[in-house]
Each structure stands twice: as structure tokens, then as C-alpha cells.
Structure 1
Amino acid sequence: MPRSHGSAAGPAEAPIIAGFAGPLDSGAAPPGRSDAALSDLIGDVYDAALDDGLWPGVLHKAAAFVGGCAASVYSKDSVHRTAEITHGVGIDDAFKRSYLDGYVKIDPTTPGFFFCGVGEVVNTPDILPYDEFLQSRFYAEWVAPQGLVDQVTTVLEKSATSYAVFSVFRHARDGLADEGARHRMRLLAPHVRRAVQIGRTVTLGRAEAATFADTLDSLVAATFLVDATGRIVHANRAGHAMVAEGTVMRAARGRLLAADGESDRLLQGTLAAAAAAAAAAAGDGGEGGASLPLPGPDDRHHVAHVLPLTAGARRRAGAGYAATAAVFVCRARIEPPAAPEAIARLYGLTPSELKVLLAVFEAGGVADLAATLGISETTAKTHLRRLFEKTGTRRQADLVKLVAGFAPPGR
């Protein structure tokens, strides 16, 4: 669509809009539009990138700086003819709802923005003939009732079917935007664009971090993410509980320590090695970490698995927490299977054979197995032989490993 460039017409050419002969913006720099005001506003824009709650105040200032009564960051989808207001001030909620519910479908300005480049600043007469805009149902039913006459807009991003823009809306008392208003928008536009991009990245990072934290909380093992000094930067629920108990692991001044002195010496050495590996971070290596025995109360032994966060997805996961290593601490035992019936279906086991298999998981030799189940050793050996045949194993230890493979990874 060809674009008209008549927005900088002289005062005598100002259109009569809804009974108002609007003066054009002179482009002067009244209070609130000085270099100092711009500098402060830009700082506020970047603050809002990190805190969504600041956007309303920023947009009020932006509208005043550019010269308007309202401002919005919003996007449109031309395929579904829908819009989403990410941030907005100055437009009554009822008008926002009516726009999103229906008027977006008849907004005549929508197609014109697809012909604008990212970062380009335009106002309404740049994207469609202004007389055509005034004659539209959209103007009569949605724009005029609010006293609006124009919008100064910059395209933040776009695709073949959608775009996002930052707009400052002009009231009849402001008149159509002239080059002064467009210039001020050009000064502000790149910073709003960067802030929106930063905000999206921060929001995504927070969502990923929250999902990651929820995942860690679902683990049975006490899990700690630690930095290069051994400081705990994140722990799951089981980890907090273990540190609070203090019999296996503890915390001193925020650092993760093993309760046993010798075990702690080994742990700190392993964490130092993990930190060194993270600092080197040479590519996407698959460092395997280390496992350390940890004595606990009443002979309840634990094992700490230390995994350096230096490779691929591990490094990305740890980055959100400034972590260099993950430490998983669990009881030195094998968890029972979560769904015994899954094992029976997979290997075609009878109920009796499944009972024997699960008893092997808990019992010792054949005699112990027979005593546990209340059967003769001969019967126990018969069931074991059938289990070996069906599962392709040869020893009871192999059966234990097989069952352990069905243990639940989470709670």
C-alpha cells in the first residue's frame, strides 16, 4: 500500500477532526522534554525491562515526552485478526476490551504497519490516507468517542503475519503529530525496543528457572547447586530438610559441608575440581563428576554424587543460579520399583514369579528368599530359574539391577 507523507503539514492544513481544528505540535522542548528528561526516561525504560511493574509509569512519561495522552506496547496477528496489549496506559479499560473483542478486526491501520521497517517511526497519515481513516467505522465508533486523532508508532518487531509496536496516542488537543513528535519518538524507540527484548528474555529465564526449581523439588535425592566457593545457590526441598537435620550435610555461612570431617575434606576437593572445570569450560565435554560415601546416623550411609555444570545443557541450567556444580545426596540403598506390574507385563511374569522377583530385591540368598516367602528352597530355585530365563539374566544380583532400573526418579 502506498504511504502518504503529509503528517508535517503546515498549521493552515490541519484537518478538522470531530469538530476540533487541531494545532500541530511545534516540536519545541517544553518542560519534561529536555535532554535531562530523555536521559531519565531512558533509564526508567531499562529499569522496566527488569521489572514489569514499572511499565505503567514509564509509559505515562513516554506519552508526555513524545506528546500524547496514552501509550501502549502491543502486538497484532493478521491471520487470526487478534491483538495483545503487553503494556498500556491512558486508554479506558472498556475501550481496551472492546478493541480486543471486536474492533481489532476492522482497524484500518493494521495493514499499513506491515509495510514499515523495524525501528521506523510513522503516524496515521503515513500508513493510510487520513480522509479514509476519518470515514471508517473504526474511527467513528472507537477513535472519535475517546477524542483521539493520531498515533505515533514505531515497529518493534514483525514477521510475515504479525508485528509488535510501541505507540503514543494523540488527543484532539494535541493534534496530528509533526516532525517534533516523530523526532522524540525516534530518540526513544530503540530503547523501548531493546527493553522489550530484554524483558522477554528475563521473563523466559524466570519461567525456565521456576520450572527447573519445580523439577528439582520433585527429586527424592537432596539436591544442591553450588558456586565456585561451595556456597549453596539453590537447594530442593529434600536438600533444605537434610541441611536442617545436619546429620549428613550441613551449611556454614551459606557453604555446603559434609557433617563428617573426612567426608567434607573429600567433598570440598571435589567441588574445587568442579569449579576449575567450569572455569575452563572447554566446549561441550561430558565430565562425569564423582561419587563420595557419607556416613550417617545409625549406620544409614549416604552417597554424594557431584556433577560439574560445565557441559551443554548442564552449563545453561546452572547459569541461572551462578552454579558450577550440582550435588545429589541420597541414602545408600536401592529404591523399590514404582510399578511392579510394568515389570510383569514386560517380561511375561506370573504373579508368583513377580512375588519372587520383588523378594529377591529385598532378600539375600536362596535360603533367605525361601524364608521370606514361606516356600521351600527347591521352589525358590525353580522360580529363580524361570526368572533368569524370562529376563535374560544369570544371577540374583542381575535381577536386583533389573528391578532397580524401574525405581522412581522422583517423589
Structure 2
Amino acid sequence: MAGISQDLAARGTHGLMEIVGAIYDTVLDRGIWPDVLKKVSLFIPGAASAVFWEDAASNQGDVYFYDDGISPRYRQLYFSKYVGLNPITIPRFFAQVDEPIATADLVPYEEFLQTSFYREWAEPQGLVDFVSITLEKTARKAAMFGVFRHARHGIVDETARRRMRLLAPHIQRAVLISKVVDFKRDEAEMFAQTLDGLRAAVILVDAGGRIVHANAAAQALLSRGDVIHSVSGALGASSRQAGERLRGIFLGAAKGDNAIGKDGIALPLMAKTGERYVAHALPLTSRARQQAGRKHGAVAAIFIHKARLEAPSPPEAIAEAFGLTMAELRVLFAIVEVGGVPQVAEVLGIAASTVKTHLGRLYEKTGAARQVDLVKLVAGFSSSLVT
């Protein structure tokens, strides 16, 4: 494995382009995600990587795609028990989208090593760190891409962060488009025909932005003309800024997968009625996707769908409402999950006196008088914000 990792690193830009191309191919065939993520794990490098979601309020989560680097036993154990005990679950909800976040960015590393999560789940596997990027946040959960670091890799360094930044926009785009449309393997070979049966608006464009194919949903949007429109056969947007960004996306897609970068991951569009839409751009310039767009000479597929108005997640809403620090928020959710002061101290790897100090501040800031009141407070925020 180390030899392959060094080979990928040595190949530099070519190795990166190969991985990025494979990431976009997952849109047409989700079954290749495990192999793609194995390449990602070697590139960062790390012991395992996954695209997953977590709900910090309910302490639930699951994996969308993974590379089998974590054994089934530990994967099941994480989501059945340790997702709520992981000290970085709550702080991760406050992480900036697109920016790599390592364990030490969220909690003191020495404190992390004292937690039951590390001692009982991470350490037995030889895992020492985790670096992740938030792909999407909603009121209910956050979708993330993350890589586990083994002792042989060491804690997350700047090289790992830089490589995460290189891959993140492409993974984000592929995942978001996969949410909009689910191609079957045989349908991917009939790409244009398949587009016509999709509920989302999909438009194929060439390098100049000329519309070469539009499905029924896209034709309906074009006929309305208040979100997108056609000018002399070229795709445009209702706002000048969005139109300029679209043109940049078309030009970037023509130059290859890596050139498109962050543009078009989630381009906001607004109708004259105030309705909000989101556009995602998928390059069609390599591998299976090149075959898909070849018939029309298309360089990109633009997926457009209505956007939902999302409320902040319960942890974010609670922190803002009561002015809680990250440490206080961790103690609050630990009390909800595991109970009394001694148990919380054990789980978080801090002294019982420290827990009591945070607890006193929680009572003062929230107006609660007992731990049960804090549990009710969290439950109230969670139920009112679930969509």
C-alpha cells in the first residue's frame, strides 16, 4: 500500500487528474465508489476514507460510500455507540464548508487521547487522527468526506490538508449531483435518453455554452425564462453574475475535470418570483462521461433543481441562542447522551470538576435548574427544527 501511495504522489498532477476523473465517473456508476475512495485514501494518505453523514442532535449517522478500510465490526460499532461519544461530532457542525478540519482543530489533542472514544474505538485500530471536509449542512445532518490517519501516517499535516482541498470540490460536486439523479449502469450508456425521464432540469452544453440538449424539465424552465433562458442558443441565467459564472464553468469544463474546480458545485439561481434554485455542473470530458456527451459535442451537463430553505442545525441554534462556548456545548450534548457528571468526565476525558464548572455555566446561560431541564431543552430544539 505504501508503494502505491508513493507512486500516486510521484505522478503528481497526472495522478490527481486520474482520481478526479474517477470521482466524476461515480455519477454514472455509484458502484465504483469503493475503488475510487481506495485511491483517495492512498493519495491523502490515510488508512480509510468515506463519504458519510452525522446528526449531532440525535447522535445518529451512516455511511454513503466507503472503501472498506474500517472493518464492518468497528463501522457498526461507531454508529451504534460511538458517534455520540466522539468529541469532534459536535464541533464538526461548526466547521467551515470546504476547509479541511483535523481532530486538533476541534479539541485539544491531549484531551482527545483521554476520551473513551479514542481508547475504546480508535486506538485498538491504530488510528490517531481524522481529517474531514463538510460537503453539505442541513437542519438535520451534515454530509462529510473524511480520511482516517493510522499511526504509520502520523497526525494530519499540511500535505494532507492541501490534498484534501484539491479533491474536496470534486467529491462535493459528484455527491450533490448523485443526490439529484441516480443513473443505473445500463442507463448511463443512453445518457441523453435517460435525461429526458429525470425530474430535475438537465441541460447539455458545449464549450461556448450553447445548448445542445435539454430534457423536458429544462425546456419548461427555459420557456418560463425567469430562472434560466436561451440567448441565440446559449444558456444564460436571470442574473448577470450567475450568467458570468455559468460561462466560466463551460470554459473550465472544456479544459478538463480539474480545471472546473469549485465553480458550479452549487451555483445559486433565483427566479423573479423569489423561488430559489441550485445548479450543479458535471464535466463530460473524460472516461465514461466523454462517451455520454460525445453524440452532442457537450462538455458539461448542468443539473438544476429547487433549493430548500434550511434552518441551522440544533447545535448551532442552541449555541447561538444561549451564547454557549464549544466546551459548554460538548458537555451539554454529553449530558444528554450519557447522563451524570462522572460519566461525562469519563467520556470526554476531562476532570469531573471541569464538567461541574461547565454545567454551572450551562444552568446560568440557559436558565435550567436540573440536568433533566437541559435534556428537555435539547429535545425541544431538535424536534422544532427537523425537516
| TM-score normalised to structure 2 length | 0.46
Choose between structure 1 and 2 for higher RCO, CA contacts under 8 A separated by at least 6 residues: 2
